[in-house]
Structure 1
Amino acid sequence: MNRIIIISLFSFILLLSGCSFGTSTESSLNDVLSKVYEDEEGYRTAQEQLSELEKNEQTSFKEMMELTQEQKEELSAKVSEMETSLEERLKLISAEEESINQAEETFKEIDGVIEQAEEEDVKGILQDMKAEMTERFSMHEEFIKQYEQLSELQRSLYAMLADNQTEMPALQNKVKEVNVQNDAVQKVIAQFNEHTKIFNDLKNEVYEKFNGEKNE
C-alpha cells in the first residue's frame, strides 16, 4: 500500500515589503495573490500533517502485516491505531477543502485585475493565469473526491485485517483495490501540481513585464 505523496504547492514568492509598485495593475495583482496565499495557509498546514500521518500509518501497516493471527491483541491495537489515523486524515482533508474553497472565492477578484490591465500582453497573461488557477482548483476538488474514495477502501481493508475470519485471497484483492485507487489519487495530484507550476511560470512572466515597464 503506497503512501500518498504530499501535494506540492509552489510559493507565490511575493516581494511585498519595501517595494513601490510600478503600476496599479501590479499592486492589485499583489493584493489578490497575497490574500489567496493567506487563504491557503490551512491547506498547507493540513498537507504537512497529512504527510506525517500517512508515514506513520504506512509504518503501522507494515508492522501489522508481520504479526500472526495468534498475536490478536497486538493486531487489534494496530488496526485501532490505523483507524484513528484515518479519521484524523479525513478531518484534515475537510479543513484543507475549506481552505482551498476560500482561496477559490478570493481568486475571483482576478477579474477586476484583468479589467484594469491596459496592456494587451499583460491582460493576456492574466487571463491565462486565471484559466490555470481555475483548473488547479478543479483538480483539487477531484483530489478530495478520489482521496475520500481511497479512505473508504482503506477503512474496509482495516476492518478485514481486524477480522480473524478474513481469508488471504480476499485480503489481497482489497489491497489491490486500495493500490488502484491510490494510483488514481496520484494522477490527480500530478495534474494539480502541473497547473500550479504553469500558473507560477505565468506569474513570473507577468512580473517580468511589470519590471520591464518600470525600466523603460
Structure 2
Amino acid sequence: MTLPIVAYGDPVLRKVGKDIQKEYPDLTDLVKNMWETMYNANGVGLAAPQIGRPIRLFLVDTTPFADDEELSAEEQEELNGFKKVFINAHMVEETGQNWAFNEGCLSIPDIREDVQRKDTITISYVDEDFKPHTETYGGLLARVIQHEYDHIEGILFTDKLSSLKKRLLKGRLANISKGKINVDYRMRFPNVKKTR
C-alpha cells in the first residue's frame, strides 16, 4: 500500500526517532508499504518519520544511481542492487573529507541543493530479522545512508545549508508545507487550510 509522504513543516520530521522492538506492530507490512511508497515516488531512500512514524527505521535502494556514467565501474557495481532496511540505527562515526553533492528529499519536493557531508561512515543497526550489524560505507552509499539517518534524528538536508540559502528558500519551503506544489505522489501537508 502506498502511504502519503509527510511534507516539510510537519512536527514529526523534527522528532528524534525511538528504537523499536522485534514485536513492533505490523513491522513486516510497514516495511513492505515503505518500499512501495519509496518506489512510487522514485526515491532511493525513505525514513519512517517521512510517513508519520517517529521511529528509528529507514530503507535504502541505491540502484538508480548505478546508471550514473560519471561514477567508476566499481562505484556503479557497489550501488547496483544495494537494498537494505536499517532498524534502530546509530552512527558510530563519520570520517574522511567533506564533499558536496546535490541532494533532494521526498518530503521537500522540487528543492535540490549541494550539501557537505563526510565521505565515510560506520553505522550500527539491526536488520529485519533483528540481527545486529556494524558496517562501514563510503561515497554515495554513505551519503544516502547519512541523509536517511538524519531523518531519524529529526534533521533535514536544508538544515545543513548556509543561512543565506535558508533565507532564499524560506518562501518555497512555506509553500511546500501549505501544499502549494505539484507532486506526482501522495503527500500529507501540515499547513493546508481545511475547508468544510
Tell which has more relative contact order, 1 or 2 (C-alpha 8 A, sep 6+).
1
The two structures share one fold, judged by TM-score above 0.5: no
| Structure with greater proportional strand content | 2
More helix by share: 1
Q: Please report the TM-score for the alignment, with normalisation by the length of structure 1.
A: 0.24
When normalised by structure 2's length, the TM-score is 0.26
For the pair shown, the structure with the greater C-alpha radius of gyration is 1
